[in-house]
């Protein structure tokens, strides 16, 4: 081999060696870069948009009970943590320490309850029978009074035959008088001791009496009541009718049950007595849990001395302040996710329960106190715990989802770096719903299964960009 050829061969070998070293360095660099890339796969899923706020757990219904009278506590029936039902006895005062007014109220309560029971029991069969008899008698009295008033009116006192007979009787009686007067006229001049004269006088007097009687009878048949008689007849009818009305009302009241006014008065009497008696006791006003006991057996208490606190732990709510910019996106019933500092790693579900129409302004910042209700509260929850609230205002399901860390913005255009055959390809995208950690891809060349770079901004800039004309695509063989 000539010297020149040897030189050429040596140079060629050196070039090849340098190329091999350079390739190995380039490949090592690409491998190092690939190892530092963080990637994620484009998938179909759910994107949610939420409003975040904070507050504390509260119970909407609680009661702090205090004594309303003085005395010595005789018994305490509950302790902290006990679950009670409405009406359960919680505490009571010793009977020998009660105020005299309470002792008197106990007797009054017994009498009032008995009276109320009698009213509610309604009338007995005997009471109903007596009322019905009274009504029947009253009806008879009205009938009789009206009949008497009617038959005594002019034209109603006698029939035509009776009047005709009365007229005939008067004619006959007058004839007898005429005959007796004639006979008397024949002997009227005789002495007073004359028997014929005495007999004629007697017959004349008797005839005149019979005539006068027949005349009075006929006049009565043809006449009418006097003003006084008519007033008496009307009064008798009115009196009988008033008794009938009273008897009917009494029977109706018995049949319809107790009078509403009487019943209300009886119940008020019981309630007043019961309220006084109840001062010696403390009972649960609703179903709940005893959260504080501040009185003990044997304690001397006065009016307003705190005793026990009950809370309904089956319902929790959180009041959060929402900006005026966000409140229009809220509505009752929206889903809520809650996390608590005291219970890390757990998430609780809830609902928006109340969105006020009016807000409050503090130093020019307007917020609205929105109430969130916790669904199915966990026993681990406690009033006063700090809660982070996330109100879901919009949710898109089954959409193409990309991690927010993969989205880059340059010159107003959003892009995503797709890793394809070792190359990072910058793909423009249009976003739909933007969530806290992921966003919806509304338009763009991304497909389900594409691998995107999460830390594209920190990787070396060897991207290949496709675009132009409003349509973008990633070349896939």
Q: Pick the closest to residue 31 from 464, 420, 422 (CA basis).
A: 422
Q: What is the pLDDT of residue 4?
A: 56
Q: Is residue 124 part of a domain?
A: no
Same domain assignment for residues 333 and 402 = yes
Task: Judge contact between 297 and 74, C-beta under 8 A.
Answer: yes
pLDDT of 5: 56
Can you give the length of the chain in residues? 477
pTM here is: 0.53
The 10 Å Cβ neighbour count of residue 298 is 11
* CATH at 89: 2.40.50.100
Going residue by residue through the chain, which has 477 residues, state the pLDDT in tens, using 9 for 90 and above.
555 555 555 555 555 555 544 445 544 445 445 456 788 999 999 998 899 999 999 999 999 999 999 999 999 999 999 999 999 999 999 999 988 889 899 899 999 999 989 888 888 889 899 999 999 999 999 999 999 999 999 989 999 999 999 999 999 999 999 999 999 999 988 988 999 999 999 999 999 999 999 999 999 999 999 999 999 999 999 999 999 999 999 999 888 888 788 889 999 999 999 999 999 999 999 999 999 999 999 999 999 999 999 999 999 999 999 999 999 999 999 999 999 999 999 999 999 999 999 999 999 999 999 999 999 888 899 999 999 999 999 889 999 999 999 999 988 899 999 988 878 888 999 999 998 889 999 888 888 989 999 976 544 444 444 443 333 444 443
Q: Using an 8 Å Cβ cutoff, are 305 and 279 in contact? A: no
User: Number of structural domains, the chain?
Assistant: 3
φ, ψ (nearest 5 deg) of residue 295 = -125, 150
Distance CA 224, CA 226 (A): 7
Nearest CA to 142 among 246, 256, 259, 6? 246
Q: Which helix (H) or strand (E) holds 346?
A: strand 343-354
Give yes or no: residues 275 and 406 share one domain: no
Structural domain includes residue 376 = yes
Residue 400 forms part of a structural domain: yes
**pLDDT computed for residue 477 by the predictor:** 39
pLDDT of residue 437: 86
> For residue 95, what is the enclosing H or E element?
none
**Using CA atoms, how far apart are residues 437 and 50, in angstroms rounded to an integer?**
11
337 and 423 assigned to the same domain: yes
Which residues neighbour 389 within 8 Å (Cβ) at sequence distance 6 or greater? 52, 53, 54, 55, 318, 320, 336, 337, 338, 350, 372
Q: Tell me, yes or no, whether 435 lies in a domain.
A: yes
Give the DSSP letter of residue 226: -
CATH of the domain at 332: 2.40.30.170
Say yes or no: 347 and 437 in one domain. yes
Residue 438 and residue 333 share a domain:
yes
Same domain, 424 and 408: yes
In-domain check, residue 18: yes
Please check whether residue 10 lies inside any domain of the structure: yes
3 state SS of 215: helix
Residue 462 DSSP SS3: coil
Which residues of 248-301 form beta strands (DSSP E)? 281-283, 288-293, 300-301
Same domain flag for 409 and 283: no
Contact 260, 274 (CB under 8 A): no
Q: State whether 23 and 110 are in the same domain.
A: no
C-alpha to C-alpha distances, 349 to 96, 249, 339, 359, 377, nearest whole angstrom:
52, 63, 9, 25, 9
Same domain, residue pair 443 and 389: yes
| Distance, CA of 358 to CA of 368 (rounded, Å) | 7
364 and 307 in a common domain: no
Range of the domain at 16: 3-36
Q: What's the pLDDT at 260?
A: 84
Same domain, 384 and 412: yes
User: Coil, strand, or helix at residue 356?
Assistant: coil
Contact between 322 and 329 under an 8 Å Cβ cutoff? The reply is no
Q: Give the three-state DSSP class for 9.
A: helix
Considering Cα of 120, then 125, then 129, then 132, what sign does the dihedral take?
positive
Residues 139 and 123: their CA atoms lie apart, in Å, by 22
Which two tokens mark 444? 């763009």
DSSP character string of 142-210: HHHHHHHHHHTSTTSSS-HHHHHHHHHHHHHHHHHHHHHHHHHHHHTTS-TT-HHHHHHHHHHHHHHHH
Contact 310, 66 (CB under 8 A): no
243: tokens are: 């008794």
Please report whether residue 395 resides in a domain: yes
Domain contains 300 = yes
Residues 397 and 435 in one domain: yes
* Distance between CA atoms of residues 51 and 350, nearest Å: 14
């Amino acid at each position: 081999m000539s010297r020149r050829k040897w030189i050429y061969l040596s140079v060629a070998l050196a070039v090849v060696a340098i190329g091999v070293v350079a390739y190995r360095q380039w490949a090592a660099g690409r491998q190092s870069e690939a190892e530092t890339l963080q990637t994620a796969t484009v998938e179909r899923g759910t994107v949610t948009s939420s409003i975040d706020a904070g507050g504390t757990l509260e119970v909407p219904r609680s009661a702090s009970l205090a004594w309303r009278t003085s005395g010595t506590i005789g018994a305490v029936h509950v302790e902290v943590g006990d679950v009670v039902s409405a009406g359960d006895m919680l505490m009571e005062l010793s009977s020998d320490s009660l105020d005299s007014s309470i002792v008197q109220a106990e007797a009054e309560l017994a009498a009032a309850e008995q009276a109320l029971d009698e009213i509610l029991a309604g009338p007995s069969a005997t009471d109903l029978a007596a009322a019905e008899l009274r009504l029947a008698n009253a009806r008879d009295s009205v009938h009789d009074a009206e009949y008497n008033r009617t038959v005594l009116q002019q034209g109603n006192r006698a029939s035509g035959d009776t009047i005709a007979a009365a007229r005939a009787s008067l004619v006959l009686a007058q004839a007898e008088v005429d005959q007796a007067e004639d006979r008397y006229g024949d002997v009227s001049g005789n002495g007073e001791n004359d028997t014929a004269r005495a007999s004629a006088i007697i017959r004349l007097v008797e005839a005149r009496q019979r005539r006068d009687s027949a005349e009075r009878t006929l006049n009565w048949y043809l006449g009418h009541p006097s003003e006084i008689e008519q007033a008496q007849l009307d009064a008798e009818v009115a009196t009988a009718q008033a008794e009938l009305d009273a008897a009917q009302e009494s029977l109706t009241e018995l049949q319809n049950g107790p009078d509403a006014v009487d019943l209300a008065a009886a119940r008020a009497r019981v309630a007043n007595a019961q309220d006084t008696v109840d001062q010696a006791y403390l009972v649960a006003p609703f179903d709940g849990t005893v959260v504080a006991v501040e009185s003990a057996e044997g304690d001397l208490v006065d009016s307003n001395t705190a005793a026990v606190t009950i809370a309904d732990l089956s319902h929790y709510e959180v009041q959060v302040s929402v900006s005026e910019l966000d409140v229009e996106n809220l509505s009752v019933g929206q889903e809520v996710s809650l996390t608590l500092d005291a219970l890390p790693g757990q998430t609780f579900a809830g609902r928006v329960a109340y969105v006020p129409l009016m807000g409050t302004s503090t130093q020019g910042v307007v917020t609205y106190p929105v109430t969130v209700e916790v669904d199915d509260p966990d026993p681990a929850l406690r009033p006063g715990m700090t809660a982070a609230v996330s109100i879901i205002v919009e949710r898109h399901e089954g959409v193409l989802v990309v991690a927010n860390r993969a989205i880059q913005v340059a010159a107003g255009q959003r892009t995503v770096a797709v890793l394809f055959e070792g190359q990072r390809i910058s793909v423009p995208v249009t976003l739909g719903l933007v969530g806290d950690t992921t966003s919806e891809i509304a338009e763009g060349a991304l497909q389900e299964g594409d691998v995107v770079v999460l830390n594209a901004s920190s990787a070396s800039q060897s991207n290949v960009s496709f675009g132009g004309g409003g349509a973008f695509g990633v070349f896939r063989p």
